[in-house]
Chain A
């Protein structure tokens, strides 16, 4: 008896611990940005309305309008080299960096933990080879922060103090946390190129990124709205909360769905296909689902399979330019769109450094084109990327690099 009475509470304490752990392990770690309660109160009088709190937090009308406009902007440069195109704007004078000889580049990478980053990383390494052969870059030392802010801060500080770097390339893991470290890199007086996710400082020589999350949200939401009717249901599959480039995609889409009278529910999936399938199955059990929206295409195939397994009609769907989605899209013939978060941007930072060391001016904010792949263009991209693995991205932009196509087909991570 004594033993049992000990065990009861023991089991409960252990279970408490486990329950918390289970809850945590359900989705990946939510990053910094917590839900503000103050802004939510004014709108959230009707308790169960869609999360208007999030909306107000991530939605920025000015940036939304700017990116909306940029979708139709003219890009400078040759369309055959989209990784060098940019929207005309303020330029950084780089004459102070002009110098001869091969330079050492230090690259602080957030991670290569998803297929998009892996594809870009392979392309970047091929670009590096070209510049090494040309005698522009002697060596690139890379530190992978494995999705950890603290690791990346340490990486950048290591580069500053011991890296012997001639230039810094930084792909920030998160916006706010990385800002001071990027500023420290700028203080060294050497060129700093930031790409992909941004930081809250404009000290970098150039900040390279495609148009942005709001543009993605507008492209995708407008497509779904155009192919659906008022009152239709859209399931939004989101990877994780708190990352600005992803939150902005959803903030824009949610606003437009709301205005168009489309019923949209969002879920965090961690890109886990098991989760995605469960969510879609349950939503199909609730009622018809006419549309699927994704903030990144990873796992898109699982979403489509869930409709097949349930014997339901295919939804109108937006995925991404990942090969797995493009192929499944073609196989099923569903009405779809592949928004693009231009993967070729991984080439641009090294090419920017080439210009910087030559003393040529570069855009202070280098906005790259970001054009979705439509059904009409799909066949061309499938053909051009024939033999590429499922995790490859169609707009990787490395066709004119050495090693094409074998390096991307074999997909050996450097």
Chain B
């Protein structure tokens, strides 16, 4: 797993010794999620030792990749202070497009994939423009997009599966590099996830990433500092829809075409992001913690299966555990914040320190989407 290697880079503050930084990172929510992943992994393997075998683990990573990628996409939007509820519908749209347009013709794979990304970018652009320039809360814009796309899919398919696209296309989500020592197979989805994760981490270290955090933390301050807020946020929405497109391509391969594919993905992705300690309302959190949140969520589901939790009970048990986990991670915030805050705040927290009176007036604007 990538968790142990990733912990040292968990927070933006870059001071103190390595050990101090790891410790400090682990008690912030963004770091605590990695601890949660490890705890859940241990619990799963303890419940079912087979799961710990490398071939099972790598396949688990492979099948979690779509959700992790969706969570990474959702992260950009949430960290900018908005929500993207259209994600599941985007996935369903892409899945149906792949099924209907590619069909059994291998020559169409590339052009259709280009089209899918174009559609993804367009949806994100519309979400972004609706939220920023038209000033409709993102909750409503993306909910509207969710309904519109859902209706479109229903219209195109009549609400039921048509047929799977050609196997070669499905290999992206289903196949992998075979005959690898130890793990037997490296699913392509794991490679795609790795690429998306690295790109995401690099992006958040670039000037765009810092601008995005600043916009999410305090849009007024960011605007006064010369940032184009609407463009920054619109890009976040486009990244989200493009991530959903990638997730959709992997899911077509993994599962096949069905209108229910992608259903509920927006909420799972948001839950993953929250489990990853990313603050709803924007401005704080690490992109890879969101991906780790997705793993925590999937491990939780696997744990319920291995503990033989009854089918009728599963949703309830899952819901309660998620609430407890998020509550615990919110505790971690306060525990993690107090001791180091006086010394570490000025360097890392650029926007927060700008104006202590600014946050209360700005809250209605940034928070409308949350309720």
> Interface residues, chain A, CB within 8 Å of chain B?
1-12, 14-16, 18-27, 35, 48, 51, 54, 111-115, 117-118, 238, 241, 265-268, 270-274, 276-279, 281-283, 285-287, 298-299, 301-302, 305, 309-310, 324, 389-391, 411, 413
Sampled A-B contacts (9; CB under 8 Å): A3-B352, A8-B334, A19-B319, A22-B267, A22-B322, A272-B255, A272-B258, A286-B305, A390-B162
Residues on A with beta carbons closer than 8 Å to the beta carbon of B274: 11, 14-15, 18
A8 to B338, CA, bound (A): 13
C-alpha gap A48/B308 in the complex (Å): 9
Q: Check: B370 CB closer than 8 A to any chain A CB.
A: yes
- Report whether B308 and A12 are in contact in the complex, using a CB–CB cutoff of 8 Å: no
Q: Which of A11, A117, A309, A310 has the most CB of B within 10 A?
A: A11
* Complex alpha-carbon distance, A276 and B367, angstroms: 37
Known: A22-B322, A272-B260. 9 other contacts (CB 8 A): A10-B370, A20-B319, A114-B160, A271-B260, A281-B63, A285-B51, A286-B306, A310-B59, A389-B162
Partner of A9 from B258, B319, B330, B359 at Cβ < 8 Å? B330
A4-B337 in contact given A268-B311, A282-B306, A391-B163 (Cβ < 8 Å):
yes
B contact residues, range? 35 or more
A67–chain B nearest beta-carbon distance, Å: 24
Which of A9, A27, A411 is the one whose CB lies under 8 Å from B315?
A: A27
Contact of A15 with B315 in the complex, beta carbons under 8 Å: no
Q: Which of these, A27, A238, A281, contacts B59 with CB under 8 Å?
A: A281
Chain A, residue nearest B370 (CB): A14
A301 touches B323 (CB 8 A): no
Alpha-carbon separation in the docked complex, A271 to B261 (Å): 9
Known A-B contacts A12-B326, A274-B251, A277-B254; A115 and B161 likewise in contact (beta carbons under 8 Å): yes
Q: Which residues of A contact B326 (CB under 8 A)?
A: 11-12, 15-16, 19
Are the C-beta atoms of A19 and B271 separated by less than 8 Å? yes
Across-interface contacts of B367 in A (CB, < 8 A): 10
CA distance A2 to B360 in the complex (A): 10
Main secondary structure of the interface of B (DSSP, over half): helix
Give every chain B residue within 8 A of A302 (Cβ-Cβ): 255-256
Check: B270 CB closer than 8 A to any chain A CB. Answer: yes
Q: B144 near A: Cβ within 8 Å?
A: no
Least distance between B351 CB and chain A CB atoms (Å): 10
Residues of B within 8 A of A113 (CB): 159-160
Q: How far is the CB of A72 from chain B (nearest CB, A)?
A: 32
Q: Is the CB of B48 within 8 A of A286?
A: yes
Give the chain A neighbours of B318 by CB distance below 8 A.
Answer: 22-23, 26
Give the shortest distance, in Å, between A86 (CB) and chain B (any CB).
29
Please tell me if the beta carbons of B160 and A391 are within 8 angstroms of each other in the complex.
Answer: yes
**Contact, CB under 8 Å: A285 / B161:** no
Residue-wise, chain B 292-320 has the 8 Å CB interface mask toward A (1 for contact) of 00000000011001101011101110110
Residues of A within 8 A of B306 (CB): 282, 285-286
Chain A residues whose C-beta falls within 8 Å of the C-beta of B337 in the assembled complex: 4
Q: Would you call A273 and B323 a contact (CB within 8 A)?
A: no
Using an 8 Å CB-CB cutoff, how does the interface string of B357-371 with A read, 1 for contact, 0 for none?
001000100010010
B319 and A23 contacting across the interface, CB-CB below 8 Å: yes
Residues of B within 8 A of A10 (CB): 280-281, 367, 370
What are the residues of chain B within 8 A of A35 when measuring CB–CB?
A: 312
B315 in contact with A26 (CB, 8 Å): yes
**Within 8 Å of chain A (Cβ to Cβ): is B158?**
yes
A113-B160, A279-B305 known; A266-B264 Cβ under 8 A: no
Q: Which residues of B contact A114 (CB under 8 A)?
A: 159-160
What's the count of A-B pairs with C-beta under 8 Å? 173
Pairwise interchain contact B159-A15, C-beta atoms closer than 8 A: no
Cβ–Cβ contact B261 & A274, under 8 A: yes
- Which residue of chain A has its CB nearest to the CB of B356? A2
CB pair B323–A11 under 8 Å, yes or no, is: no
**CB proximity of A306 to chain B, nearest CB, Å:** 10
Cross-chain contact B258 with A413 (CB below 8 angstroms): no
Nearest CB of B to A176, in Å: 19
> Which chain A residues lie closer than 8 Å to B261 at the CB level?
272-274
Give the CA-CA distance A411 to B302 in the complex, in Å: 38
CA distance A26 to B315 in the complex (A): 7
Max chain B Cβ within 10 angstroms of own Cβ: one of A2, A12, A114, A411 = A12
Expressed in whole angstroms, the minimum distance between the Cβ of A338 and any Cβ of chain B is 17
Q: Say yes or no: A22 contacts B63, CB within 8 Å.
A: no
Residue contact A390 to B271, C-beta cutoff 8 Å:
no
Counting chain A CB atoms within 10 Å of each CB, which of B56, B158, B322 scores highest?
A: B158
State A11–B323 Cα separation when bound (angstroms): 11
Chain B residue at minimum C-beta to C-beta distance from A5: B334
Q: In the bound complex, how far is the Cα of B54 from the Cα of A168, in angstroms?
A: 60
The CA-CA distance from A241 to B159 in the complex, in Å, is 20
Hey, which chain B residues are within 8 Å of A301, CB to CB? 164, 256
Would you give the shortest CB distance from B57 to chain A, in whole angstroms? 10
Contact of A270 (CB < 8 Å), options: B60, B164, B260, B370: B260
Contact, CB under 8 Å: A277 / B63: yes
Whether A24 lies near B160 (C-beta < 8 A) is: no
A337 to B2, CA, bound (A): 44
- When the two chains form their complex, are residues A238 and B323 in contact, meaning their CB atoms are under 8 A apart? no
Which of A15, A271, A302 has the most CB atoms of chain B within a 10 A radius of its CB? A15
Bound together, the chains give a CA A394 to CA B294 distance in angstroms of 40
The residues of A that contact B174 with a CB separation of less than 8 Å are 305, 309
Question: A117 to B159, alpha carbons, bound, how many Å?
Answer: 10
Report A-chain residues with C-beta under 8 Å of the C-beta of B51: 285
What's the least CB distance linking B115 to chain A, in Å?
A: 22
- Tell me if A309 and B163 are in contact (CB < 8 A): no
